[in-house]
Amino acid sequence: MTSADHQATHDVVKHSERHEGPQKHIIVFVLSIVLTAIAFAAVAAGGVNAAFTVLLLLVMAVIQVLVQMGYWMHLKDRGHMMPIIFMLGGFFVAGTAIVTALYWVWW
Amino acid sequence: MAHAHSVKRHKGLMDWLTTVDHKKIAILYLLAGGLFFGIGGIEAVLIRLQLIKPMNDFVSAQTFNELITMHGTTMIFLGVMPVIFALMNAVIPLQIGARDVAFPFLNSLGFWTFLFGGLLLNLSWIMGGAPDAGWTSYTPLSTTTYSTTHGVDFYTVGLQIAGLGTLIGGINFLATIITMRAPGMSFMRMPMFTWTSFITSAMILFAFPAITVGLVLLSFDRILGANFFEVSNGGNPILWQHIFWIFGHPEVYILILPAFGVISEVIPTFARKRLFGYSSMVFATILIAFLGFMVWAHHMFTTGLGPVANALFSIATMLIAVPTGIKIFNWLFTMWGGQIRFTSPNLFAIGFIPTFVMGGVTGVMLASAPADFQFHDTYFVVAHFHYVIVGGLVSGLLAGLHYWWPKMFGRMLNETLGKLSFWFFIIGFHLTFFVQHFLGLMGMQRRVFTYLPNQGFDTLNMVSTIGAILMGIGILFFLINAIATAFKPKGVAADPWEDGRTLEWAIPSPPPEYNFKQTPLVRGIDALWKEKMAGNKGMTPAEPLGPIHMPSPTILPFVMSVGIFIAGLGFMFSKEDFSNSFMSLIFNNWIVVIIGLLITFGSMLLRSLYDDHGWHIEVEELEEEGVKA
């Protein structure tokens, strides 16, 4: 068997890797809530300035997405190359449309 | 390990309604595709008959608008898409050495939603007028201000339901190709048809959500009084064009890529050579898909996007000629020095190449934004897209159907009739559409229902109509061929073309319902050819003979689709003023919609609560059949 064969037959997640214990998931769960809380607090507090709040929200959102996808959707685990590729593909297609609509097209 | 438990086997019609076997679903797709292709073809002939001479009154202007709209919509969404899915269903599991698709239930659901969406759309002919705003259904023409009948509602709801089926099918094939390849079949050993179908499915996954959103917005505008495209209330009609073409341009590559795949299978088989430049073919396919999402605005150069957008979209569009050119040259180099046999599938494949090149050349011409201001909405555009879709895609599909017919049905198509249909088709095709380039350059607008005499249009339109009739005769020959073949006895060899290269030719024609008795071990590109060259009789099995797990047949996908169909009809007529009080009671109070959705969601609930573990074909049964084969 060549290495390519090996890749094709073992593209499936090993069962043991799915069960890494609740500890990590609890940490991630708390982290998700904290991220959400920060976002809410930033808006509730008002203060500083709007541009900073928007930036903060965006950063929190990006971290949130990464955490959710990595841990809850298991994208960080082995054998998830295809979902990652397709997710990036989706981002690319949607991103192209949005960037074009915002910066190239007059209407 | 295998618990023998009997499964209810259906016979006759019930067997077809409940089947989850990819080979039978392929035949269903082919029948449905054939039906809609026939309807679209008749519409095409009626269009050409109307345009045969100046100031003709064969059909009225309104009927003509309905004809062109339904011709385009039917052919794209309901004609060629299902035939593509027919080939994908018939061939891909066999080519990758799988026993079925990843989700047989979804496969059936995808077919039935497609069929009911298509039927709903075509019901418009007998329910108060077909859609008449063009297959692109541009706003504001398609808004209630200008399209007062229910025609466009049939378009939005029908396509929504049919699109659901396509999306389900696409996702199913992605999962199938990623997870169900036989041991040893790495991505870079997949047959080209599987590769192009894989990329096409990925494009379906990314492109169809755009049209789904667009159709939702348009139907909300029309039925619920929303204002997404209504200028007077702050909407933007150009938005529809963007949404439509963000879907629509990838859609044309969704259509053509499987045809590229067919050509890449047929030409090596009948040249007795492996495909030239396999990895560059894969690369070109991916690049076409990638670029396909960045060019949609070339359909909109004349809407006034601005010079920056026009220039960038021009360049992106022209770039697509590069990977496409790679493919064309690879096919030519595959034939170079091969022992070419001019069988009917190979004739269609060879005819495809120059025809598609011509369509590609006019495509690059149209990509040039300044020139496009001249070509836009003329017959030049009509000629261009028929060259790529009919001369390209339909030729490719006919090549594929002739090629895989013995595998699908166990009977060879008649070669003489196949060749007759090829010559009538290709001569008729070029007669019809070649002259339309010049009609367009002379200024004949597309979608006009008639024209004045003595503008230089008369002769060319006559020629075009004669060509269309010849092309129709070619398709009729194919139909006669298919029907005549159905009465011949089954029993062609596993590899009837004798030079089969890929896995589907390693198993009987038609294959048994479990396809592969033992999953084959793949040792290289063109797995079967490799074994033949090594002097082996067939594929080396990758597993011992064991009981085969099969999915149970089920009526639920059919029932779910009926539910969606009913809900769709109810939604369309929810704001209609009925003279009959009972009708207004059930429609205006959303009762029909609720009944339809209850049927669908009820079936889903049933599916979720009732565990069906399928059934097994036992080893003894397999061995018995083995003696016969």
Residue B91 structure tokens: 């061939």
Inside any domain, residue B5: no
pLDDT the model gives residue B512: 93
**Residue in B186, B189, B293 to test binding to A, most A beta-carbons within 10 Å:** B186
Say yes or no for a CB contact (<8 Å) between A105 and B184: no
Which residue in the set A7, A8, A104 is minimally distant from B309, CB to CB? Answer: A104
Is A101 near chain B, with CB under 8 Å? Answer: yes
B112, amino acid identity: W
Q: Which of B353, B627, B612 is nearest to B517 (CA)?
A: B627
Inside any domain, residue A32: yes
Q: Please state, in angstroms and rounded to a whole number, the distance separating the CA atoms of residues B608 and B172.
A: 19
Asked if residue B87 has pLDDT above 80, the reply is: yes
What lies within 8 Å, CB to CB, of B518 at 6+ separation is B541, B542, B543, B544, B545
* Same domain flag for A31 and A55: yes
Residue B403 structure tokens: 């090629």
Q: Which of B247, B26, B62 is nearest to B148 (CA)?
A: B62
Number of Cβ atoms within 10 Å of the Cβ of A41: 10
Q: Which of B390, B405, B352 is nearest to B86 (CA)?
A: B405
C-alpha radius of gyration, chain B, whole number: 25
Inside any domain, residue B585: no
* Same domain flag for A100 and A87: yes
Residue of chain B whose alpha carbon sits nearest to that of A87:
B206
Residue of chain B whose alpha carbon sits nearest to that of A13:
B179
Is B186 near chain A, with CB under 8 Å? Answer: yes
DSSP B181: P
Is A92 near chain B, with CB under 8 Å? Answer: yes
Which residue in the set A92, A101, A106 is minimally distant from B304, CB to CB? Answer: A106
CB burial readout B540-564, b (16+ within 10 A) else e: eebeeeebbebbebbebbbbbbbbb
Q: Please state, in angstroms and rounded to a whole number, the distance separating the CA atoms of residues B461 and B467.
A: 10
Say yes or no for a CB contact (<8 Å) between B188 and A4: yes
Question: How large is the greatest C-alpha to C-alpha distance in chain A, in angstroms?
Answer: 64
Contacts of A96 in chain B (CB under 8 A): 293-294
Tens-digit pLDDT profile for residues A56-90: 899 999 999 988 888 888 888 888 888 899 999 99
Say yes or no for a CB contact (<8 Å) between B206 and A105: no
**Residue in B238, B240, B246 to test binding to A, most A beta-carbons within 10 Å:** B246
Say yes or no for a CB contact (<8 Å) between A92 and B188: no
Contacts of A90 in chain B (CB under 8 A): 205-206
Contacts of A7 in chain B (CB under 8 A): 186
Contacts of A2 in chain B (CB under 8 A): 186
* Same domain flag for A61 and A104: no
Q: Long-range CB contacts (< 8 A, 24+ apart) of B412-415? A: B412/B485, B412/B488, B412/B492, B412/B496, B413/B344, B413/B481, B413/B482, B413/B485, B414/B481, B414/B484, B414/B485, B415/B343, B415/B344
pLDDT the model gives residue B4: 46
Inside any domain, residue A3: no
Q: Please state, in angstroms and rounded to a whole number, the distance separating the CA atoms of residues B442 and B180.
A: 53
Say yes or no for a CB contact (<8 Å) between B178 and A7: no
Say yes or no for a CB contact (<8 Å) between B242 and A5: no
Tell me which residue range forms the domain holding B307. 12-554+612-628
Ramachandran bin of B137, using left for φ above 0, alpha for ψ from -120 to 50, beta for the remaining angles: left
Inside any domain, residue A15: no
Q: Which of A101, A100, A107 is nearest to B305 (CA)?
A: A107
Inside any domain, residue A2: no
Asked if B137 contacts B244 with a C-beta cutoff of 8 angstroms, the reply is yes
Tens-digit pLDDT profile for residues B529-555: 999 999 998 899 999 999 999 999 999
Is A99 near chain B, with CB under 8 Å? Answer: no
pLDDT the model gives residue A18: 54
* Same domain flag for A40 and A82: no
Asked if residue B597 has pLDDT above 80, the reply is: yes
Asked if residue B330 has pLDDT above 80, the reply is: yes
Token pair 């080893």 is found at B619
Inside any domain, residue A8: no
Is A13 near chain B, with CB under 8 Å? Answer: no
**Residue in B206, B244, B247 to test binding to A, most A beta-carbons within 10 Å:** B206
Residue of chain A whose alpha carbon sits nearest to that of B187:
A8
* Same domain flag for A50 and A82: no
B325-to-B279, B284, B359, B522 alpha-carbon distances in Å: 15, 9, 12, 30
pLDDT the model gives residue B257: 97
* Same domain flag for A84 and A64: no
Q: Please state, in angstroms and rounded to a whole number, the distance separating the CA atoms of residues B180 and A30.
A: 38
Query: Once rounded to an integer, what is the mean pLDDT over residues B103-126?
Result: 96
Q: Which of B82, B81, B85 is nearest to B172 (CA)?
A: B85
pLDDT the model gives residue B625: 65
CB burial readout B381-392, b (16+ within 10 A) else e: bbbbbbbbbbbb
Contacts of A8 in chain B (CB under 8 A): 181, 183-187
Which residue in the set A8, A89, A107 is minimally distant from B206, CB to CB? Answer: A89
Token pair 């949609």 is found at B296
Query: Once rounded to an integer, what is the mean pLDDT over residues B454-472?
Result: 96
Inside any domain, residue B127: yes
Asked if B123 contacts B37 with a C-beta cutoff of 8 angstroms, the reply is no
Asked if B124 contacts B36 with a C-beta cutoff of 8 angstroms, the reply is no
Say yes or no for a CB contact (<8 Å) between A105 and B305: yes
* Same domain flag for A35 and A45: yes
Better-predicted residue by pLDDT, A48 or B574: B574
Tens-digit pLDDT profile for residues B41-57: 999 999 999 999 999 99
Is A46 near chain B, with CB under 8 Å? Answer: no
* Same domain flag for A71 and A27: yes
Q: Please state, in angstroms and rounded to a whole number, the distance separating the CA atoms of residues B233 and B85.
A: 41
Torsion of CA B25, B29, B32, B36, to 10 degrees: 170
Count Cα neighbours of B57 within 13 Å in the Cβ-side half-sphere: 0
DSSP B155: H
Instruction: Assign 3-class secondary structure to A44-63.
Output: HHCCCCHHHHHHHHHHHHHH
Inside any domain, residue B536: yes
Which residue in the set A5, A82, A93 is minimally distant from B186, CB to CB? Answer: A5
**Structural element, H or E, at residue B595:** helix B591-609
Token pair 């539910």 is found at B563
Is A85 near chain B, with CB under 8 Å? Answer: no
Contacts of A107 in chain B (CB under 8 A): 236, 238, 303-305
pLDDT the model gives residue B7: 64
Instruction: Give the SS3 label for residue B399.
Output: helix
Asked if residue B453 has pLDDT above 80, the reply is: yes
Is B202 near chain A, with CB under 8 Å? Answer: yes
What lies within 8 Å, CB to CB, of B587 at 6+ separation is B570, B573, B574, B576, B578
pLDDT the model gives residue B626: 56
Inside any domain, residue A93: yes
Asked if residue A10 has pLDDT above 60, the reply is: no
Asked if residue B175 has pLDDT above 50, the reply is: yes
CATH number at residue B408: 1.20.210.10
* Same domain flag for A71 and A82: no
Number of Cβ atoms within 10 Å of the Cβ of B497: 21
Q: Please state, in angstroms and rounded to a whole number, the distance separating the CA atoms of residues B545 and B541.
A: 9
Contacts of B207 in chain A (CB under 8 A): 93
Inside any domain, residue B594: no
In this prediction, residue A12 has a pLDDT band, given cuts at 50, 70 and 90, of very low
Inside any domain, residue A106: yes
Tens-digit pLDDT profile for residues A39-56: 888 888 876 688 888 898
* Same domain flag for A68 and A91: no
Say yes or no for a CB contact (<8 Å) between B202 and A86: yes
**Residue in A93, A96, A98, A99 to test binding to B, most B beta-carbons within 10 Å:** A93
| Number of domains comprising chain B | 1
Compute the count of residue pairs across chains A and B with CB atoms less than 8 Å apart. 59
B448-to-A20, B66, B377, B545, B592 alpha-carbon distances in Å: 67, 12, 10, 64, 39
Asked if residue B401 has pLDDT above 60, the reply is: yes
ipTM of model: 0.81
* Same domain flag for A70 and A88: no
What does the mean pLDDT of chain B come to? 94
Q: Please state, in angstroms and rounded to a whole number, the distance separating the CA atoms of residues B314 and B312.
A: 5
Tell me which residue range forms the domain holding A84. 77-107
pLDDT the model gives residue B283: 96
Which residue in the set B181, B205, B309 is minimally distant from A105, CB to CB? Answer: B309
Which residue in the set A9, A92, A105 is minimally distant from B306, CB to CB? Answer: A105
Instruction: Assign 3-class secondary structure to B494-552.
Output: CCCCCCCCCHHHHCCCCCCCCCCCCCECCCCCCHHHHHHHCCCCCCCECCCCCCEEECC
Residue of chain A whose alpha carbon sits nearest to that of B199:
A86
Contacts of B307 in chain A (CB under 8 A): none
Ramachandran bin of B225, using left for φ above 0, alpha for ψ from -120 to 50, beta for the remaining angles: left
Is A83 near chain B, with CB under 8 Å? Answer: no
**How close is the nearest chain A Cα to the Cα of B74, in Å?**
27
Inside any domain, residue A7: no
Q: Please state, in angstroms and rounded to a whole number, the distance separating the CA atoms of residues A74 and A79.
A: 10
Give the B window 163-182 contacts with A, CB below 8 Å. 174, 178-179, 181
Inside any domain, residue B29: yes
Residue of chain A whose alpha carbon sits nearest to that of B292:
A93
Inside any domain, residue B579: no
Q: What percent of chain B has pLDDT over 70?
A: 98
Tens-digit pLDDT profile for residues B200-241: 999 999 999 999 999 999 999 999 999 999 988 889 999 999
Which residue in the set B184, B246, B309 is minimally distant from A5, CB to CB? Answer: B184
| Number of domains comprising chain A | 2
* Same domain flag for A25 and A71: yes
Inside any domain, residue B578: no
In this prediction, residue A8 has a pLDDT band, given cuts at 50, 70 and 90, of very low
